[in-house]
Structure 1
Amino acid sequence: MSILQTTKKAAEQATGIARPDKREVGDLVIQRKPNEFRFTDDGLVPNHPFWPLVVYRGAVKLPEDFDPAAVMEAIFDANGWGDSWRDGIYDYAHYHSQIHEVLGVARGTAKVRFGGKMGRTLSLKAGDVAVLPAGTGHQCLSASDDFLVVGAYPPSGTYDLCTTAADHAKAVVTIPRVDRPRNDPVYGGKGPLLAAWERD
């Protein structure tokens, strides 16, 4: 996270300025149908054996009264997804084998390839949210100069960064063991993610 974003985040959390409170968070969420994408193991990126990438298009309102990153953080936090960060998305293929991740676009646009070399490239814009089950490859191919993402994680799991063929053998064992989260990071305990992430 850049020094500017770190400073803004700390100030917003300390003062509440530019950050929605718990009552306002619900008004900033728009009900959207989930777009689901399933990917196969490409030998480098395993992806998840059961659960799809879930993308909610335009799921979050970003009014000018609030910092857009603070809006994403407040929504994710209200639904139990924490350890948030603000930044871009790495420009190389990577995945997490021991934890799920949510990515909320706070500003700008980007083309992001999900699922590895045999995956799919999606155009993301401010207000979109992508929820990645453990193992899902992601890589930013291009982005606008103002592109900013907020990432967060469910309370269970351990952050790791996997990029190599050597990571793959361990990852295929750990990925299916990562517990399903209790809440959808956008819609809470009854969100569409929970139905999409049922074991087959």
Structure 2
Amino acid sequence: MFTGIVEELGEITEVASDRLSIRGPLVVGDARHGDSIAVNGVCLTVTTVVDDVFTVDVMGETFLRTALSRLQPGDRVNLERAATLNTRLGGHLVQGHVDGVGEILKREPSGEWETVTFALPEGASRYIVHKGSITVDGVSLTVVNVSDTQFSVGLIPTTLAMTTLGHKQIGDPVHLEMDVIAKHVERLLEARFETGSTS
């Protein structure tokens, strides 16, 4: 479990068919084999740590369903260690399970702030509400507007400076994780209607 508060901008050092190696001096400070670290919002398991670089195994399914396969050495990535029981919940509950890949459609600067609009995968809008939470590349954000095909968020200077969202361009892919509570509510309601229960 994560909170969507990025701790560090890491750097990809190696991309292989089944693993990634990432430089992240802060997050590897207490990292051990088996620990979870979110990489651009994807929960991955640490296999090795050497100096300030950690390596994670990546299944073919994960490469297929995310944009991790597009990463190249030198690319920056958002990093967050798994939350602990004494972690401040500055964002919202994030699982690190990507629901789909979106795309940046528009960037609109407004002073120090910026409004960014993203394309949504088909069917994803039902989990998004105005002023609700969404995770974009592992960053917990508040929805400004949403339609059937897109949504927008406002990025403050800190987010622009300390995450990859400040550097991505129109057309770039992003990982999207919808609010887990919305997904659970939908599943519970589906089960209720399937059985015809009214209690």
TM norm. shorter chain > 0.5? no
Q: TM-score, normalised by structure 1?
A: 0.29
- Which fold has the larger relative contact order, with Cα–Cα distance below 8 Å and residues 6 or more apart in sequence? 1
Q: TM-score, normalised by structure 2?
A: 0.29
From the CA coordinates, give the structure whose radius of gyration is larger: 2
